[in-house]
Structure 1
Amino acid sequence: MTDKTNISPDRIPVIVGIGEIIDRPKEIAGGLEPLDLLEQALRRAEADAGAKLLDELQSLDVVNFLSWRYRDPEKLLAQRLGAAPSHCYYGPVGGESPIRYIHEAAQRIARGECSVAAVCGAEAQSTATKAERAGVKLPWTPFAHDVEEPKRGAAFQKPLAVKLGVFRPVTVYPFYEAASSAHWGQTPREAMAESGTLWSRYADAAAQNPNAWLKRRHAPDEITTPTADNRLIAWPYTKLMVANPSVNMGGALLLTSLAKARAAGITEDRLVYPLGGASAEEPRDYLLRDQFHESHPQNAVLRAAMDLAGGDGKNFDAIELYSCFPCVPKMARRTLGLGADVQPTVNGGLTFFGAPLNTYMTHAACAMVRRLRDGAKLGLLYGQGGFVTKHHALVVSKGPAREALAQATSVQAEADRNKRAVPDFVTEASGKGKVESFTVLYGRGGEVEHGVVMLRTSDDQRTLARIPANDSATLAHLLNMDRTPVGSLGDITMAADGVPEWRVAELP
């Protein structure tokens, strides 16, 4: 190998090994627990590197998992590996976290703090759910009931949002879906068609990925058309448009310094170089955001990533755009300046590859390494967590950076600079209300439960309001495929249970 940079090989981070495992037990009790999946994924990554590295591990990041609870899982894993890493970390909830951990591990190597690092994540939600339903006791490490479950969703949202049911990802992301498509001048029909086409590309990639949970291609109309097997959950999202967490999967990456890789005899064709990246976030309470047609942190993070690629998103040979719901990659590809013909994934997406909750991007990073080893030159990994809340992008390459790996990752100041005034939120309102965004919630049988509109009042305050299931005229207005309801006016009244309700004004 020859250096293409003046940086010391001791300070050049490289990804040297990737490992994945998918567990489909024949019997429920035979399912592997998350710790088993983590260990096996790491040992597969070590085998992929072709060098003994785990016993020299100095940095270990474990992505937060929710299907089983342990006390100090990162320490239990290190013990299994026979390692004693000085950095041993089990992080908070967030779909962007695998990319952040890979980036931070690379920076540790660049700073000379370590020479061998691992990032891994796993979930066994499919087995855990089946066991609970069947009353099967799993022969796993005892569940740590005394360990507090991480706060999610409702813990950070306003009581009115919780009462109306818009506090889970599947009911919050539609607000971005409706607001962004209206901002782009799309009719709901056009927006749905774009989602279906995009999602079919994720399905195609999953069908070719041996590690995917689902390996079936889906035509765009099959994804967007509601059926008994593809029910509407929250408008406009059907079951085939949302993440699928009921999987058993583990993924891992090993990083070393270039000097360590050389000493271990790992050849240049196996190496992938992290070049740098960026992070930023929104308030966890989504109602504290200025608008919903774009994400300022997402924009800032992706533009910083483009700067590392010569300022042009088209310079990436391969990209992975986070895919919990269609609005996320739809917004991202526009920021990157990429057209509707974008190939948004190397992995398969959270619907089709599978969504092991926080750790999908661990698997996407493994797929990206394979793609670069197979001939791509420059890759973009973009992860996202919460409700369009936390964002992290990482640029990876087949060649080393010409400058030291950038140490500053936050582009929060840039994101905040673009934020406009946030309207005051009120829980009681009357008079006229203009639709800022909306969704409609459905029951398991396909029936409408109620609609929810995010409104701006006549004095430009923000509120949420319900549309009862029996208000067929207002629901028909919201669900019109040829004209967005965003921007339309209606009347707000307070219902007997103290919740605002909205009825569309008479239309011309």
Structure 2
Amino acid sequence: MTPSPRTPVLVGVGEVSERLGEPGYRRRSPVDLAADAAREALHDAGVDASAVDTVAGVPQFEISLPWATPVLGASDNFPRSVAARIGAGPRRAVLEIGGGQAPQRLVNEFAATIAAGHADVVLLFGAEAISTVGFYASRDDRPDFTESPGGSLEARGSGLDGIVSMHHVAHGLSDTPSQYSLIDNARRARLAMSRAEYAAAIGGLFEPFTAVAAAHPHAAAPVFRDAAELMTPTGTNRPIADPYTRYVVAREKVNQGAAVVLMSAEAARRHGVREEQWIHLAGHADLDERTMVERPDYGNSPAAVRAAQHALETAGITGPELSTLDLYSCYAAPVFIVAEALGVGPDDPRGLTATGGLPFFGGPGNNYSMHAIAAVVRQLRAAPGTYGFVGANGGIMSKHSTGVYTTIPSPFKPSESARIQAELDAVPAPEEALTADGAGVVETYAVKHRRGGEREGIVLGRLDDGRRFVARADTILDLLTTGEPIGERVTVRSTPTGNVIA
């Protein structure tokens, strides 16, 4: 089948990285890293930067969180700064909202934009220099990453609605490990697994990821570790939040950048891009999950499941037909849940990651999945006629974007994400009691571990009147750390500083 002129095709990918203290380290800024990745992507496609009519950037953590201050400074127009570095003069520049879904969501959006005739050559990119920023933050010789390139910018904001609850933050849910542990702990209880069994399952899930990372040239932690090592607490692998140790949570202290080039088939032919370079987006979906307390089952994500399934449906294939996968792996729960939706087991010989995953390859802020897309594209080019899947996740399993890629010519098909989103949103949600008093039951929990050994307990529960609540639970730490708290009856009371388990 010959693709129509407006068919969007992915024609170029690029990645760069550097590590503190290693040969070639140049303390590059996020703009520098993204620009170098963009040059590689354009070179991969064989296209000059002057052809680019649209650029879209994935924001760094420092510029996507309203309360964060760039320690070494930052560009006030990240997409235009990158464009200027590479000699591009795009008519449109976009700064996407934050979240790990951003790279795949941008591919989905701009594939549709190209199909509609509103763009011809689109460059997507992102980068983080968190490792460099952390190292130089308090040094006298720190670099200054401040710049103002000028030009128009379509800035889409932080996108934190439905993700951050200041009420929950006030009760200790201020970090992603503790919030994701709510999901994994609820899932463990639903599966009737012991703590030891579930820890072994997480170790078994991630051991193959470390093997992939060990062979990846841009991995931040290219070291193989077996399941037992991953889950055994030590001085360097301290507990973070039950059931996580440091080794199995996303590694954000990285210096990494990645970029993707999208074109219309017509433009690709005009610029002489060889068709064996072309990758088609055969299926895709973008769905948002309920807020944490509105989810019927804390241990699942209907939006993640439907986003994975719908991308396959749109592509006209099933999970067993995929040859390569990359499932978002900031923590164990997203991998388990999406793998189940695809009908793929943790020990599947195809593997669940193309990069090594966020704990081992590295979690460059919001931009990890741009690296995943690059890795999947390379594998598909090496095996023409096959399909690859990328699942991207933002927030606390809050935003989900998926893509099915292939070398097989495929017409672009709009997804039915809006219809599916309406169905998900129509499910009745429980009410939350901001001030909670009375008897209830524990539905899930988190135990945070401080560096000094102190622990902090948080419970999400349901009052007997059906309303949900969050409460500090230091009074029942023994139950939270050694027993089975989920399903236990408790009494909660409100205080001037928040709800507590009495």
TM-score by length of 2: 0.89
> Does structure 1 residue 438 correspond to structure 2 residue 439?
no
Other-structure match for 1:93: 98
Distance in 2, Cα, partners of 1:436 & 1:335:
23
Other-structure match for 1:248: 255
Counterpart mapping for 1:361-372 below 5 A: 361-372=369-380
Other-structure match for 1:76: 81
Change in CA separation of 1:413 and 1:15 when aligned onto 2, cut-off 3 Å: closer
Other-structure match for 1:38: 34
CA deviation after TM superposition for structure 1 residue 447, in Å: 2.7
Other-structure match for 1:355: 363
SS class of match (2:359): helix
Which of the residues 289, 294, 299 maps onto 1:288?
Answer: 294
Aligned AA for 1:181? R
Change in CA separation of 1:442 and 1:419 when aligned onto 2, cut-off 3 Å: farther
Which of the residues 137, 142, 156 maps onto 1:137?
Answer: 142
Change in CA separation of 1:128 and 1:190 when aligned onto 2, cut-off 3 Å: same
Distance in 2, Cα, partners of 1:311 & 1:151:
35
Which of the residues 255, 260, 264 maps onto 1:257?
Answer: 264
Distance in 2, Cα, partners of 1:131 & 1:143:
22
> Does structure 1 residue 66 correspond to structure 2 residue 61?
yes
CA deviation after TM superposition for structure 1 residue 411, in Å: 4.3
Distance in 1, Cα, partners of 2:452 & 2:198:
25
Which of the residues 16, 21, 33 maps onto 2:16?
Answer: 21
SS class of match (1:16): strand
1:273-293, Cα deviation, whole Å (9 max, x unpaired): 11130111024x433333312
Distance in 2, Cα, partners of 1:29 & 1:348:
22
CA deviation after TM superposition for structure 1 residue 155, in Å: 9.5
Other-structure match for 1:506: none
Other-structure match for 2:65: none
1:93-151, Cα deviation, whole Å (9 max, x unpaired): 1100100111222222222222211111011111111111334331433599xx99965
Which of the residues 110, 119, 125 maps onto 1:114?
Answer: 119
> Does structure 1 residue 389 correspond to structure 2 residue 384?
no
Change in CA separation of 1:106 and 1:158 when aligned onto 2, cut-off 3 Å: closer
Other-structure match for 1:477: 479
> Does structure 1 residue 346 correspond to structure 2 residue 354?
yes
**Contact between 2:283 and 2:415, CA under 8 Å: does it hold in 1?**
no
**Contact between 1:274 and 1:397, CA under 8 Å: does it hold in 2?**
yes
Which of the residues 152, 174, 177 maps onto 2:181?
Answer: 174
Other-structure match for 2:246: 239
CA deviation after TM superposition for structure 1 residue 434, in Å: 0.8
Distance in 2, Cα, partners of 1:487 & 1:175:
14
Distance in 1, Cα, partners of 2:317 & 2:281:
17
Distance in 1, Cα, partners of 2:494 & 2:119:
60
Change in CA separation of 1:202 and 1:413 when aligned onto 2, cut-off 3 Å: same
**Contact between 2:58 and 2:95, CA under 8 Å: does it hold in 1?**
yes
User: How much is the aligned-residue C-alpha RMSD, in angstroms?
Assistant: 2.6
Other-structure match for 1:274: 281
Other-structure match for 2:489: 489
Distance in 1, Cα, partners of 2:459 & 2:296:
16
Distance in 2, Cα, partners of 1:418 & 1:151:
22
SS class of match (1:182): helix
> Does structure 1 residue 456 correspond to structure 2 residue 465?
no
Aligned AA for 1:332? V
Other-structure match for 2:334: 328
**Contact between 2:326 and 2:391, CA under 8 Å: does it hold in 1?**
yes
SS class of match (1:456): strand
CA deviation after TM superposition for structure 1 residue 502, in Å: 2.3
CA deviation after TM superposition for structure 1 residue 384, in Å: 0.6
> Does structure 1 residue 423 correspond to structure 2 residue 430?
yes
Other-structure match for 1:502: 501
Change in CA separation of 1:421 and 1:29 when aligned onto 2, cut-off 3 Å: same
**Contact between 1:436 and 1:487, CA under 8 Å: does it hold in 2?**
yes
Distance in 2, Cα, partners of 1:160 & 1:104:
33
Distance in 1, Cα, partners of 2:265 & 2:167:
53
SS class of match (2:305): helix
**Contact between 2:95 and 2:156, CA under 8 Å: does it hold in 1?**
no
Distance in 1, Cα, partners of 2:114 & 2:139:
46
Change in CA separation of 1:412 and 1:172 when aligned onto 2, cut-off 3 Å: farther
Aligned residues: 484
CA deviation after TM superposition for structure 1 residue 156, in Å: 5.5
SS class of match (2:211): helix
Unaligned runs of 5+ in 1: 504-508
Change in CA separation of 1:36 and 1:341 when aligned onto 2, cut-off 3 Å: same
Aligned AA for 2:80? K
Counterpart mapping for 1:152-167 below 5 A: 157-167=164-174
1:300-345, Cα deviation, whole Å (9 max, x unpaired): 2111012135452111111111011100111111111212323210
CA deviation after TM superposition for structure 1 residue 347, in Å: 0.9
Change in CA separation of 1:256 and 1:319 when aligned onto 2, cut-off 3 Å: same
